[in-house]
Amino acid sequence: MENRELTCIGCPMGCQLTVTMDNGEVTEVKGNTCPKGDIYARKEVVNPTRIVTSTVKVTGGDKERVSVKTANDIPKSKIFEVMKDIDAATVAAPISIGDVLVKDVAGTGVDVIATRNILAV
Ligand code: SF4
């Protein structure tokens, strides 16, 4: 038996979670105020993932950078590589919310999409 202590990131309450594991399997989650905490804890100890938000350089637009996010969760272990690919990207305006700006970022199978509009100038 092994216990892991986590802070739930599902909402600002930040419940303190205790996850009990046996041979790599989650047997119990305690401390969650709602079911989201249980789901988060089970995923976090077995396969932690995150949505990554950042910005990408823009050419020919009314702003120099566009805010972006990964369209889905990516493995937490890949965050550094994902940020490297996002930092290396440059996109040309115009850009619309939801446009795919980096396809299959860092080989995760997840695209990076725009979260704001950029006009061409
Ligand atoms: S367990 Fe529920 S109430 Fe507590 S931090 Fe997570 S999402 Fe918020």
Protein residue closest via CA to atom 1 of ligand 1? 37
pLDDT at site 24: 85
pLDDT at site 1: 87
Q: What is the DSSP letter of 58?
A: E
Q: Which of 5, 6, 7, 8 to mutate to test the pocket of ligand 1 (most atoms within 8 A of CB)?
A: 8
Compute the distance from residue 19 Cα to the ligand 1 centre, in Å: 14
Is the pLDDT at 71 greater than 90? The verdict is yes
The mean per-residue pLDDT over the stretch 5-23 comes to 96
| Architecture category of domain 53-114 in CATH | Roll (3.10)
Separation CA 5–CA 116 (nearest Å): 37
Q: How many Å is the Cα radius of gyration of the chain?
A: 18
Q: Give the pLDDT band (50/70/90) at residue 60.
A: very high
pLDDT at site 51: 96
Q: Average pLDDT, whole number, for the chain?
A: 97
The mean per-residue pLDDT over the stretch 105-110 comes to 97
The mean per-residue pLDDT over the stretch 79-88 comes to 98
Share of the chain above pLDDT 90, in %: 96
Beta strands 90-92; 100-102: pairing state: unpaired
Which residues are near ligand 1 (CB < 6 Å)?
8, 10-11, 13-15, 32-34, 36-37
The mean per-residue pLDDT over the stretch 13-36 comes to 96
